[in-house]
Amino acid sequence: MTRIFDDPARFMDDMLAGFCSANRNYVQRVGGGVVRTHQPKPGKVAVVVGGGSGHYPAFCGVVGAGFADGAVVGNVFTSPSAQDAINVGVAADNGGGVVITSGNYAGDVLHFTEAAKVLSENGIPARTVFVTDDIASAPRGEESKRRGIAGDFVVFKAMSAAAEAGYSLDEVVALGEKANQLTRTLGVAFAGCTLPGGDGPLFSVPEGKMGVGLGIHGEPGVSEEPIPTARELARRLVDETVGELPLQEGRKVGVILNGLGATKYEELFVLWASVEEFLVEKGLLIVDPEVGEIVTSLDMAGLSLTLVALDDELETFWKAGADTPAYRKGNAPVGASGEGLREIKKIAGADRNIVKVASAASRRHAKTAVAMLEKMEAVLADAEVELGRIDAVAGDGDHGRGMVKGVRAALVGARLAVDKNAGVQQTLEWAGDDWASQAGGTSGALWGAALRQVGASLSDRPEGISAQVVVVAMGDGLETVMTLGKAQLGDKTMVDALSPFVDALAAAVANGDSLRNAWAQAAECAEVAATETASLVPKIGRARPLAERSVGSPDAGAISLAMVLSAVAPLFD
């Protein structure tokens, strides 16, 4: 149980304030995360690590000499926004380009890919590397679908040490991709973790059993098996990770035996004795093993074993020194900490004092958009706990909290636009930008993009907005969600509620129904479709590795979408 907090919604912000205060010689806070306090040598590639919080020492704990230049820090188990990553990337840049790296999760991929694009467009060459070490999350041959768990540390450290050694941006990326290909992890859990303010764990494991193949965001394991002896568990972990790598006798390996938050070091040492024995038995040469908490999951009881097959280049960087708040090894590279304090740079954002001239009709519709967001906020706040419960069946349980944070941020942006006499297009653009930047996560990216697209499609129409225009705008929003999220009908996502809604709305309007009646009918179709996602098997997202467990429970994103579509129906003229 996470017991120490003030406002659960501000847990990450409060944590980061305390972390920076306690480690001011290492890090300083910037929008979206932290960067090194001191400026590294000019021209050095900046390695920016990131992801949701709740995993300390990952990710902010490894910012420092010999390791990362910055960390993007999202809400607990929620990917940071693209804007967060842009802010940290600009602040961390040393003139040699930026690599943004994280585990392979949909939200991280969406936001960090967008951030790299924006940075590059603004004169800072940027690339991404996403880690896929978790062997339980997808079968061989589908490695690109695997999650990044404790193997993140291997890839992050290799790239960071290479950047410190003077590698170019392309060389750092190539090394990171090689390290990823040669790293594999398998984890087990004995008990779930609890979000700050939560009244119970995101998942539970039956007494005397362990979940095999857990995620690090509170996702349960892919199977449940009796807890073996330490020796039997060591054999299982070693055999399965070794079996995934090209390891001949005499090959050197880096090893991490990682505690997930509530497994004591003494227990890890008991297990390590057998892990070492079995690796040596296979003829492998162990190099600088790490036994302890490296990538945690709040208070989860569990552990994981990570192996990286080392060549000469990777061995050099695996053994390289580092000096960070949470990880110290040997001697950090000379001059890595820089000569002086870092000067924080920023990319100029959109000027919200610039408001496009809008017609009276468009300004009236903008006020309606604010009223809709207010209705959405009310219904999502009431459903926050239930949406989290649904999401926790096969995901990380943060959907309700993320949706509430997103809609509240969008409401602030929309109200500001209306106060400045903006039209409906600019109002929805600002709302979408704030939803995406404040909520983070996959849903944050999708909702933000959808609101922006709907606003662009509605545009500023002096004659007002017809029902036919609304149909087109909602269809454009659907297309944006499907393109950005790479989701199709039947994948068990919000698309499975939005697509039937758009079809029903178009049909009702074509039949001559008023927009208000057509929207209400379509919202009913969305509610039915959302409920029916319970029978679907997820094909993308965090629930995919737990596909069978998800059957019988609806998709949280589809449910929340249907809720808000129904909530706003009475507001149409």
C-beta of residue 104 within 8 angstroms of C-beta of residue 148? yes
- Strands across the sheet containing 223-226: 223-226, 209-212, 183-191, 301-309, 252-259, 285-292
Residue 171: both structure tokens together = 């060389």
User: What is the distance between the alpha carbons of residues 538 and 568, in angstroms, rounded to a whole number?
Assistant: 28
Choosing from 38, 55, 111, 217, the catalytic residue is 217
Other C-beta atoms within 10 Å of 464: how many? Answer: 13
Find, among 349, 353, 328, the residue nearest to 419 by Cα.
353
Catalytic (active site) residue 111: no
Burial 238-260 (b: 16+ CB within 10 A, else e): bebbbebbebeeebbbbbbbbbb
Q: Is the peptide bond before 57 cis (omega within 30 degrees of 0)?
A: yes
126-131/98-103 β-pairing: parallel
User: What is the distance between the alpha carbons of residues 543 and 553, in angstroms, rounded to a whole number?
Assistant: 11
Strands (E), 299-419: 301-309, 322-323, 328-329
C-beta of residue 324 within 8 angstroms of C-beta of residue 64? yes
Residue showing tokens 């079995």: 278
Q: Which long-range contacts (CB under 8 A, 24 or more apart) does 467-472 make?
A: 467/509, 467/514, 467/515, 467/518, 468/509, 470/505, 470/509, 470/515, 470/519, 471/502, 471/505, 471/506, 471/509
Other C-beta atoms within 10 Å of 2: how many? Answer: 17
Find, among 443, 486, 547, 552, the residue nearest to 136 by Cα.
547
Non-local CB neighbours of 489 within 8 Å, separated by 6+ positions: 495, 496, 499
Kindly give the residue spans of alpha helices, DSSP state H, lying in 165-222: 169-181
User: What is the distance between the alpha carbons of residues 569 and 471, in angstroms, rounded to a whole number?
Assistant: 14
Residue 290: both structure tokens together = 């790490």
Q: Residue 505: what residue type?
A: L
SS3 339: coil
Q: Residue 207: what residue type?
A: E
Burial of 73 (0-12, 13-18, 19+ CB in 10 A): buried
| Active-site annotation, residues | 217
